[in-house]
Amino acid sequence: MTLSLPDSFFRNASNPMWVFDDESLRFLEVNEAACQRYGYSREEFLKMSLLDIRSPEEQELIKKRPKNSGRVWEHLTKAGDAFFIQGYEFPFEIEGRKVTLAMIADQTERVKLERERIELLQRYQILAEAANDLLWDWDLRTNQVTHNEALITQYGYSQSDLQQPITWWSDKIHPEDFNIAAWSIQEAIRERRRYWTAEYRLKKADGTYVLVLDRGILHVDENEQPVRMIGSIVDLTTRKAAEDDRNQLFRLSIDSMLFLDPSGMISQANSAFYNLAGIEWTTDGHRDMREFLSPEDRETFDAAVNCALEEGTEGHFSTSIDTESGRGKTIQWGLITNEARNRLFLVGRDITESKAARKELEDALIRSQELAIEAQAARKAQTEFLQNMSHELRTPMNGMLGTAQLLAASAQDERQRTLASILVRSGESLLLILNDILDFSKIESGKITLEQSPFLLSDAVQSVFDLFALSANQKGLLYKTVAGKGADIYVSGDPFRLRQVISNLVGNAIKFTEKGSIDLSLDVRQLDEGSVEAVIKVRDTGIGVPEEMQPRIFERFVQVDSSPTRRHGGTGLGLSISKTVIELMGGSISLESKVGEGTEFTIRVPFQAVAGHPEISTGSQAFAASSKPGARVLIAEDVEVNAMILRSWLQERGFVCVTVPTGHEAIHALSMEQFDGAFLDLHMPGATGYDVVRELRKAERGSNKRLRVVAVTASVSQEERQKCISEGFDDYIPKPILVADLDRVVSRLF
């Protein structure tokens, strides 16, 4: 299925866009931006589905088909590089088929920034709450000091040092700091002070000194005698470096960062926030955050703060800044609290521009949906126009080609036969061009369909061989067919479309071969139980296809010789249509060719085998064929020329013909007279051919009679053929009427 979306939006859009089938998830169309971003060509895309560009972790999720619009997904390029996107989808239907138009926005940078923001929040939380301190416990009665593992991990001492006398500790104090530290702790013990604090330099195991903060808590017994002091030593060097890092990040960040107390008062804010708010920067906040928010946004802020304090969860919300410099700007905030829930950390980012861009994208997507609907209407109008034009062209062509065939059959001398043959061949060429254009239109609009009915595989190939036997013999070509073992097998598929493809290849072979031979062969290969592969080859000794043209020979409008002086005509659509039809059947078509030696086309198509010998009939009820002379038939045709031509052909074959110009007269004649058959034009004024056959079959109910009825129409669609059979016709002849089609119907029915 190919979609024709407006170049002004879809194909030239800077964002990747595509259309995919809702059921199979396969791509139906992509634009150039998608090809460039993902590294695939358009042809590669159209053979893929949404699963092919997803990471393995997301493939199962996409199969469940959640609501996708607005989600952030991880995609993969052809080279395997991962990036993040946000997709916006708009589902719609095309002729009953559910499809979705998607526009893709690259969110890799946004996801990266979001992850960095979360990482920064976590880092600040760690810096504010976690301190890997050296803990000590001094028993004043034994003068033994016990330390935790930090003595080993932070200061480099051994396991044996974890418990030492107090003198061990005093030996580790820098000589210049010893008197102050020793005096202060002894003073605290003597005065029974609850808390003790001192800063000094402490020696590590490697002999270096670090500045530490030592804090202790004195414990006394029931007699108020000191018995124990427990404390912690903090390496101020490490903490100072961490504080410097935090302060630098805090100070230089382009995002607004604030520390708040539980009431919402600002204890500290960075310059980015003050610039946003348009107030003078100060190292000391002491202002209520609500001062900078509108009344509506204050409620949002309070709800986020309460949730963080009560549940300890992160909060995300959006507000504007209610100051002159911040008005009109949208800020996305992230809020967390520390473990003690007595301090809040707030980070804000200005998303005004991205919000506006998203609004533009949403508006563009709405417009694209409108354009898609307009395109669907345009395709429908195009299809209806082509169907009407087909009918209008085939009606006069029936007169032209039919008259030419009659002239050729009744020519009195060689010159008349030559001239009449020229008219017939010209008309047949024009008919082939018309058929190619109609099939191409169906392919473009996705309306080409395949039927599934049982048929004898060898008969489908043989019927094409017989059709072209006269043309090959007239050019003096050696023309033969070979059927391999197992060719006489019944399969389920579309015999009409298979014959169409083989006819195109055989017709081309005859057209491009001036001397030599043409071979048509069929082989059948077993695939598995119940399925086979038909291998059909058409080989000629014609002009061949240049090597540089072979990769493009199946493209639309491509001809080996496209110059104005070329000898052979055609639209350049036949091989493209053939390739599409064979691929719809699940098969493939290929060629091997050398200039001056010839060409061999190979078709490979899988089929389901049909057991036994199924009854194959185009009618809704079987009947015994009759070949009695003077069979009486009714012709209902409103165009006099068409009626005259059909009557002439049938009379030459021994039929007695009665002609009526309307459907109502046909109904009357069939009810009053006895006929052996009827040829009904489908589109007559008043009562149509369908109306006539319905009345006829209704009258036949309850009897064992069934009149042979043939539909004659300029409508050649597969849907029309199927409708004819389902409505009660026994066969179908398209206009312009070809002698071969008429003889096929006559030999089968009469």
Where exactly are the structural domains of the chain?
A: 7-106, 134-240, 253-350, 366-444, 449-609, 632-749
- Average pLDDT for 258-266: 89
Distances (CA, A) of 97 to 22, 91, 250, 741: 8, 11, 55, 35
The answer to whether the CB of 55 falls within 8 A of the CB of 74 is yes
Say if residue 233 is exposed, middle or buried (CB neighbours under 10 Å; 0-12, 13-18, 19+).
buried
Same fold, 134-240 and 449-609: no
Locate tokens 């088909």: which residue? 65
- Average pLDDT for 488-497: 88
Whether domain 253-350 has CATH 3.40.50.300: the reply is no
- Phi first, then psi, for residue 674 (nearest 5°) are -95, 130
Domain covering 449-609 in this structure, CATH number? 3.30.565.10
Would you give the end-to-end CA distance of the chain in angstroms? 41
The closest of 382, 498, 508 to 440, measured between CA atoms, is 382
The answer to whether the CB of 20 falls within 8 A of the CB of 1 is no
Rounded CA separation 535/554 (Å): 19
Mean residue pLDDT of the chain comes to 81
Q: Which distant-in-sequence residues (6+ apart) come within 8 Å of 87 by Cβ? A: 68, 69, 70, 71, 73, 102, 103, 104, 105
The answer to whether the CB of 738 falls within 8 A of the CB of 403 is no
**pLDDT tens figures, 500-545:** 889 889 988 998 999 999 999 999 999 888 899 999 999 999 999 9
- Average pLDDT for 280-293: 73
Locate tokens 């007279």: which residue? 673
Look at residue 570 and give its three-state secondary structure: coil
Label residue 437 by pLDDT band (50, 70, 90).
low
- Looking at residue 618, its pLDDT comes to 42
- Looking at residue 677, its pLDDT comes to 95
- Phi first, then psi, for residue 516 (nearest 5°) are 110, -135
Q: Which distant-in-sequence residues (6+ apart) come within 8 Å of 613 by Cβ? A: 490
Rounded CA separation 111/126 (Å): 22
- Looking at residue 414, its pLDDT comes to 74
Distances (CA, A) of 177 to 135, 197, 212, 231: 20, 14, 11, 19
Label residue 127 by pLDDT band (50, 70, 90).
very low
Tell me: pLDDT of 625 over 60: no
- Looking at residue 124, its pLDDT comes to 39
Tell me: pLDDT of 408 over 70: no
Higher-scoring residue by pLDDT: 195, 70: 195
- Looking at residue 379, its pLDDT comes to 66
Question: How does strand 134-139 pair with strand 226-235?
Answer: antiparallel
- Looking at residue 606, its pLDDT comes to 94
Strands of the sheet with 256-260, listed across from one edge: 287-288, 265-269, 256-260, 344-350, 330-337, 315-320
Percent of the chain predicted with pLDDT > 90: 28
Label residue 318 by pLDDT band (50, 70, 90).
confident
- Looking at residue 560, its pLDDT comes to 56
Rounded CA separation 499/480 (Å): 17
Domain covering 134-240 in this structure, CATH number? 3.30.450.20
- Looking at residue 276, its pLDDT comes to 81
Least confident of 598-612, 650-664, 669-683, 712-726: 712-726
Label residue 94 by pLDDT band (50, 70, 90).
confident
What's the DSSP call for residue 224? Answer: S
Domain topology for 7-106:
Beta-Lactamase (3.30.450)
Q: Which distant-in-sequence residues (6+ apart) come within 8 Å of 702 by Cβ? A: none
Whether domain 632-749 has CATH 3.40.50.2300: the reply is yes
The answer to whether the CB of 50 falls within 8 A of the CB of 28 is no
- Average pLDDT for 105-134: 63
- Looking at residue 245, its pLDDT comes to 67
Rounded CA separation 436/559 (Å): 14
